[in-house]
Amino acid sequence: MSVMRKYRRNILVNNLGNSLSDILDIHFIDVRRASRVDGIVREVYSNVPAHVSFKNIDNPDPAGAPTAPVIVSVSINMRVEVDAVNGDEVVIKIPDKNVTNIKDAFIGIIGDPKTVMSRKKAMLTMRQLGRDDIRNFVTPLPQPPSIAPDLEKISKITIRFLHDDEPVREAIDYIAKRGEEVTVEALALHGFAFSHTKLNGESFALDKITFFASEESYAVDFIYDRVIVPIYLRLFSNGRFRRDDGGIGNGPHWYQVIPIAWDNGAAILPTDRQVHLETRAVLQIRPGARVLLEPQRSFASVVEIERIGESFRVSLLEVAPTQIEAEAYITDAYGVWG
């Protein structure tokens, strides 16, 4: 039996990173590192599976620009055990549809990798390599087995996460053997509440669905509603902070989200303060403090705060933001408090 909550059979538990690698890692990277002895850059890892997202592409006119196209804000996702560190030179290789030759390649210096949901993620800026560079300086791709899979014995399952027919996170493609029992479960998504599931267009009031993979393809759509009641609170800070693309900013920003529960109109919080990871400043929830509520992104002022056991009961009053508060950067680079 195939249970998609467990890597590769189970997407939602401990081995999620390895399962996502099996499903999503369709690119390859080479990692090069400067020796501490002689300073020479040498390749330390070749053909590491990874998933690459190109956030923005600048393609200069080849007739008028002597430089190769430049790719900016590249995100690399890989297994957490991959030994890639800040300052390594990384070559990204995009294979052709047969995964036998390199269609495109890019090179750049990796930033400080972060671990998110059992996956290692790094941001970097890269430049595209020309065909001569690929041929002369890039390690060839590993060659696949000569025997192609029997397509009549597999089912392709596409799992999407939608709100108003628009994706709220990347889709997942999964391959199952024909006749295999497959279980797929909805993910908990920040700012959204699960509504229902569609299997090949048919609706079910379930957040987990099980079926036998007997057809060539299946479409599993998890449908979500936006959350109306605020479920997160942010504190205001002014100074150094990390941007979502991995860069460093400096100025007004709304810091890491704190989860909220509600009791008779009052917010119940697990803490009354945060220590900013960049500045070490103590951000405290106290009367008069201004906060940002999400996902609505409405603004409030703290009226009073009371400690109840290990939690804090906070009364809030909705207010209009100042111009600085309205324009402050909202960073998601720190995840959820706790």
CATH number for 34? 2.40.10
Assess whether 26 and 133 both reside in one domain: yes
Q: Cα(172)–Cα(284) distance, rounded to whole angstroms?
A: 40
Q: Note whether residue 300 is domain-resident.
A: yes
**Does residue 133 register a pLDDT over 80?**
yes
Local confidence band at 21 (pLDDT 50, 70, 90 cut-offs): low
Assess whether 34 and 111 both reside in one domain: yes
Assess whether 200 and 247 both reside in one domain: no
Q: For position 118, what pLDDT does the model report?
A: 62
Percent of the chain beyond pLDDT 90?
A: 36
Q: Note whether residue 338 is domain-resident.
A: no
**Does residue 10 register a pLDDT over 50?**
no
Q: Note whether residue 9 is domain-resident.
A: no
On average, the pLDDT of the chain sits at 81
322's CB contacts (< 8 A; 6+ apart) are none
The residue range of the domain holding 240 is 232-330
Assess whether 187 and 123 both reside in one domain: no
Q: Note whether residue 301 is domain-resident.
A: yes
84's CB contacts (< 8 A; 6+ apart) are 29, 31, 45, 48, 76, 78, 90, 110, 113, 120, 122
Q: For position 240, what pLDDT does the model report?
A: 95
Q: Note whether residue 37 is domain-resident.
A: yes
Assess whether 243 and 177 both reside in one domain: no
**Does residue 18 register a pLDDT over 50?**
no
Mean pLDDT in residue range 15-41: 70
Mean pLDDT in residue range 15-20: 44
Q: For position 48, what pLDDT does the model report?
A: 87
pLDDT one-digit tens code per residue, 230-250: 889 999 999 999 998 889 999
User: Which amino acid type is present at position 159?
Assistant: I
Q: Are 4 and 184 in contact (CB under 8 A)?
A: yes
Q: Note whether residue 189 is domain-resident.
A: yes
Local confidence band at 304 (pLDDT 50, 70, 90 cut-offs): very high
pLDDT one-digit tens code per residue, 255-299: 999 999 988 889 999 999 999 999 999 999 999 999 999 888 889
Q: Which of 226, 253, 276 is the last residue of a domain?
A: 226
Assess whether 241 and 305 both reside in one domain: yes
Residue from 330, 295, 305, 303 nearest 319 by CA: 303
Assess whether 217 and 175 both reside in one domain: yes
Assess whether 218 and 261 both reside in one domain: no
Q: Note whether residue 144 is domain-resident.
A: no
- Residue, of 107 and 58, whose pLDDT is higher: 107
Residue from 81, 85, 74, 75 nearest 18 by CA: 81
- Residue, of 287 and 147, whose pLDDT is higher: 287
Q: Are 260 and 267 in contact (CB under 8 A)?
A: yes
Q: Are 93 and 26 in contact (CB under 8 A)?
A: no
Which range among 42-51, 268-277, 319-328 shows the weakest confidence by mean pLDDT? 42-51
Assess whether 88 and 35 both reside in one domain: yes
Q: Which of 103, 137, 171 is the last residue of a domain?
A: 137
Assess whether 25 and 103 both reside in one domain: yes
Which range among 100-114, 201-215, 231-245 shows the weakest confidence by mean pLDDT? 100-114
Q: Which of 92, 115, 137 is the last residue of a domain?
A: 137
Local confidence band at 171 (pLDDT 50, 70, 90 cut-offs): confident
Q: Note whether residue 162 is domain-resident.
A: yes
Assess whether 264 and 294 both reside in one domain: yes
Mean pLDDT in residue range 6-15: 36
Q: Cα(132)–Cα(140) distance, rounded to whole angstroms?
A: 13
Assess whether 218 and 294 both reside in one domain: no
CATH number for the domain that contains residue 169: 3.10.20.320
Pairing type for strands 217-226 and 154-163 reads: parallel
Task: Please give the tally of structural domains in the chain.
Answer: 3
**Does residue 168 register a pLDDT over 90?**
no
Q: For position 258, what pLDDT does the model report?
A: 95
pLDDT one-digit tens code per residue, 53-106: 776 555 544 444 444 455 566 788 888 778 888 888 899 888 887 778 888 888
Mean pLDDT in residue range 124-152: 72
